[in-house]
A and B are shown apart, each in its own frame.
Chain A
Amino acid sequence: AQTVTQSQPEMSVQEAETVTLSCTYDTSESDYYLFWYKQPPSRQMILVIRQEAYKQQNATENRFSVNFQKAAKSFSLKISDSQLGDAAMYFCAYRSDFTETSGSRLTFGEGTQLTVNP
């Protein structure tokens, strides 16, 4: 079974600064997807960024980028020019290839609570 570990329960950053959230995972699969989700107090899970394991190039979405190290099974999220609206719980998630029994279910880490200080 796959596992996802986020070793930073809490992080804080000053507005306009850069912060990196860590994530490691364990899998024996070669094809999979990795995600970062944001969950504000509204509970709504918002997809921030995704990475296909077969792609060597790191994904970027505006101020958000990842550092994907497949051999090390590491998937960190970098937030540049942090904004007050970035404050939320961030979850790293792993998704296997589709199977008949489990579809393409997500396996989540424990989350990192990000605080942005003005």
Chain B
Amino acid sequence: GAGVSQSPSNKVTEKGKDVELRCDPISGHTALYWYRQRLGQGLEFLIYFQGNSAPDKSGLPSDRFSAERTGESVSTLTIQRTQQEDSAVYLCASSLVPDSSYEQYFGPGTRLTVT
């Protein structure tokens, strides 16, 4: 079946503009995670959704970052007033249920470049 998809694949934006990044999880997966990967670094956790609920948003780096999810479907990560430090690859992952024994399947990521 189809895997996790993300769009756009690449996004170049000017400093100060808002951007929306989209994640389509695997159908039926209730848990969804967003991670950020700065150049040459590991992934850092941003936010977790169980269904359309995000119990803990403390991983979001600032209040310019927000995310929402429609039911158990698509999720959108929005960055307002982008800064150069926001340049990174944003990866999304989904799993059938959030239990630790269930694998997280990753999308290909969106590379965001803020100029």
A residues adjacent to B (C-beta < 8 A): 4, 6, 32-33, 42-45, 47, 50, 91, 93, 95-98, 100-111
Contacts and interface: CB of A to CB of B under 8 A. Distances in A.
20 contacts: A4-B42, A6-B42, A43-B91, A43-B111, A45-B93, A45-B106, A91-B42, A101-B55, A101-B56, A103-B48, A104-B31, A104-B102, A106-B33, A106-B43, A107-B45, A108-B42, A109-B42, A110-B42, A111-B41, A111-B42
Interface in B75-115: 89, 91, 93, 95, 98-104, 106, 108-109, 111
Interface size class of B (residues with CB under 8 A): 20 to 34
Contacts of B102: 104
Interface in B1-60: 31, 33, 35, 40-45, 48, 50, 55-56, 59
Given A43-B108, A44-B108, A106 B41 contact: no
A98 B97 CA distance: 10
A105 B33 contact: yes
A102 B100 contact: no
A71 B52 CA distance: 39
A47 B55 CA distance: 26
- Sorted from nearest, which 3 A-B pairs have the closest CB atoms? A108-B42, A103-B98, A45-B106
Contacts of B41: 110-111
Given A44-B108, A107-B45, A111-B41, A95 B91 contact: no
- Looking at A47, A97, A101, A105, the one whose CB has the most chain B CB atoms below 10 A away is A105
A108 B44 CA distance: 7
Given A45-B91, A45-B106, 5 more contacts: A104-B31, A105-B48, A107-B45, A108-B42, A110-B42
A98 B100 contact: yes
A47 B4 CA distance: 14
A35 to B, nearest CB: 9
Nearest to B49: A103
Nearest to A101: B56
B108 A42 contact: yes
